[in-house]
């Protein structure tokens, strides 16, 4: 069948297909001219458009029966004509694939705008008077949600937000820096001016996840504060319990010492033949009682330095020299522990060893306090059993992760350390 033998209906259908191919080829040519006009692909698109245009013109002349350009091709077979159209379609598909590859490898006039529109954050670049030069899609959505219209002036919008003149659907969560809830998300706004002060940039960062984490942190901090308050109350109660316990222990100790001294004194007075050793023993017993009384007179003082000074004066008054190296601990609990241990060690040195000199060395190594106490009294004649004063020291150290060792190789030596701090009473 020749092309001129086609009826009107067949020509119309082929004409429609040709026009579609022509429109498609024109679009490809225009885009290639915009992106890469000096390429072989652009030249091929121009040739495709011209061939496609010629074929459409032939169909138009066949339909109107006014032969101009198509007259030399009337004997062309219909199958060949349709094959030309399929060939054009194949070339257009190849050019379209080529166009997509070029788009991915090059930046065109609209590439920057398309990239900005695909950002998850809002972006607006405007002149210093607020006139927008570039606004991406997300910023327009935020503007429509906050103000009910698209962004037309950046400076004006910032002023309205600062004055809380916004839609009821949105909420200002924080004013400085500006944080707004809009479009079901949380946005952090940042306003930047360039060095030349020609343009300003407004960025809306999506911080929905970060804001949620911040809320969780604030909630946890409140719970921690409440827990700390309860712990502080418990610590105060524990300290009060310890204080009352120490007071009770001191009262019992005073009662025992005074009772023992009075009984011994009564026995001494009733005895007819009094020896010098018995008199020294009586004086020794009263000296021990004096140390206990002097300590408990200062038990209620808030400033423990006075108690330490009084302890030194008491030791001096009964003929015992204390050689002290280091500085007193700063913490109240540490100072209480130190004075309590020294008192017990001093009692033992006077009572059991009849010491005349006591050496005390204290230092800190960051986390722990180290204490060494020596005396020049009599060495123990048998194995030392921890009772009385040593037992009290061991019990005191237990509540503060303390350690104690005894060395009698040269002189009687106590090596003690405990965890520094204010919270170990818990």
Quick check: is 413 in a domain? Answer: yes
Shared domain check, 123 and 104: no
Q: Which of 206, 239, 265 is the last residue of a domain?
A: 206
Give CA torsion, residues 401, 406, 412, 418, to 10 deg: -10
For residue 374, the cross-strand partners are: 359, 413
In this structure, are 274 and 400 located in the same domain? yes
Integer Cα distance of 192 and 205 in angstroms? 13
* Residue 426 belongs to some domain of the structure: no
Task: State the CATH number of the domain containing residue 348.
Answer: 3.30.565.10
Q: What is the mean pLDDT of residues 128-152?
A: 90
**Domain for residue 212, yes or no?**
no
pLDDT category at 58 given cuts 50, 70, 90 is confident
**How many domains, the chain?**
3
The tokens 């101009």 sit on which residue? 68
Question: Among 60, 83, 109, where does a domain finish?
Answer: 109
Report the C-alpha gap between 75 and 61 in whole angstroms. Answer: 14
Structural domain containing residue 350: 230-419
Residues 141 and 87 in one domain: no
* Residue 397 counted as domain residue: yes
The backbone torsions φ and ψ at residue 104, rounded to the nearest 5 degrees and listed phi first, read: -70, -30
Does one domain contain both 258 and 388?
A: yes
* DSSP β-ladder status, 321-325 and 357-364: parallel
Amino acid 207: pLDDT: 93
* Together in a domain, 28 and 160: no
Same domain for 289 and 320, yes or no, is yes
Q: How many Å apart are CA 125 and CA 91, to the nearest integer?
A: 42
Let me know: does 82 contact 14? Beta carbons within 8 Å: yes
- pLDDT of 279 above 80: no
Q: Please indicate, yes or no, whether residues 94 and 73 belong to a single structural domain of this protein.
A: yes
Decide: 32 and 39 in contact? Cβ < 8 Å: yes
What is the number of alpha carbons within 13 Å of residue 424 lying toward its C-beta?
19
Query: Contact at 8 Å (CB) between 305 and 328?
Result: yes
Q: Within a domain: residue 211? A: no
Hey, what are 215's tokens?
């809320």
pLDDT tens digits, 156-197 = 998 998 888 888 889 999 888 899 999 899 999 999 988 787
Residue 120 and residue 18 share a domain: no
Pair 244, 364 in one domain: yes
Domain limit, last residue, from 85, 109, 133: 109
Looking at the fold, whether 268 and 254 belong to one and the same domain comes out as yes
* 68 compared with 390, residue with greater pLDDT: 390
pLDDT digits (tens, 9 = 90+) for 341-381: 888 888 888 877 788 899 999 998 878 899 999 999 888 87
Same domain? For 41 and 63 the reply is: yes
d(CA 423, CA 426): 6
Q: What is the CATH number of the domain that holds 147?
A: 3.30.450
From CA 91, how far away is CA 99, in angstroms rounded?
12
In a domain, 424, yes or no: no
């Amino acid at each position: 069948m020749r092309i001129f033998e086609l009826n009107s209906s067949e020509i119309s259908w082929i004409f429609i297909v040709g026009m579609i191919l022509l429109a498609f080829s024109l679009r490809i040519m225009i885009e290639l001219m915009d992106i890469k006009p000096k390429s072989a692909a652009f030249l091929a698109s121009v040739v495709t458009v011209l061939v496609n245009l010629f074929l459409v013109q032939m169909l138009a002349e066949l339909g109107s029966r006014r032969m101009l350009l198509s007259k030399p091709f009337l004997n062309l077979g219909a199958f060949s004509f349709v094959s030309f159209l399929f060939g054009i379609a194949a070339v257009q598909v190849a050019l379209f694939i080529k166009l997509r590859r070029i788009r991915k490898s090059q930046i065109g006039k609209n590439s920057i705008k398309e990239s900005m529109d695909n950002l998850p954050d809002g972006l607006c670049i405007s002149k210093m008077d607020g006139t927008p030069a570039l606004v991406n899609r997300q910023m327009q959505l935020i503007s429509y949600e906050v103000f009910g219209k698209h962004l037309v002036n950046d400076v004006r919008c910032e002023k309205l937000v600062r004055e809380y003149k916004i839609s009821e659907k949105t909420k200002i969560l924080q004013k400085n820096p500006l944080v707004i809830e809009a479009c079901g998300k949380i946005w952090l706004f940042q306003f930047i001016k360039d060095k030349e002060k020609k343009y300003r940039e407004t960025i809306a960062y999506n911080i929905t996840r970060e804001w949620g984490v911040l809320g969780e942190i604030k909630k946890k901090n409140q719970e921690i504060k409440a827990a700390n308050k309860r712990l502080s109350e418990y610590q105060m109660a524990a300290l009060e319990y310890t204080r009352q316990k120490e007071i009770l222990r001191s009262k019992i100790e005073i009662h025992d010492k005074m009772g023992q001294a009075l009984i011994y004194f009564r026995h001494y007075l009733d005895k007819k033949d009094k020896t010098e050793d018995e008199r020294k023993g009586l004086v020794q017993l009263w000296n021990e009682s004096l140390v206990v009384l002097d300590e408990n007179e200062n038990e209620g003082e808030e400033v423990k330095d006075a108690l330490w000074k009084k302890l030194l004066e008491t030791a001096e008054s009964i003929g015992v020299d204390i050689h002290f190296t280091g500085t007193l601990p700063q913490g109240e609990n540490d100072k209480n522990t130190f004075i309590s241990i020294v008192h017990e060690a001093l009692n033992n040195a006077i009572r059991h060893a009849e010491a005349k000199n006591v050496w005390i060395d204290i230092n800190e190594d960051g986390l722990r306090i180290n204490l060494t106490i020596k005396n020049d009294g009599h060495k123990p004649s048998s194995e030392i059993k921890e009772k009385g004063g040593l037992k009290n020291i061991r019990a005191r150290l237990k509540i503060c992760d303390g350690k104690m060792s005894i060395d009698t190789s040269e002189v009687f030596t106590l090596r003690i350390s405990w965890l520094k701090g204010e919270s170990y009473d818990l």
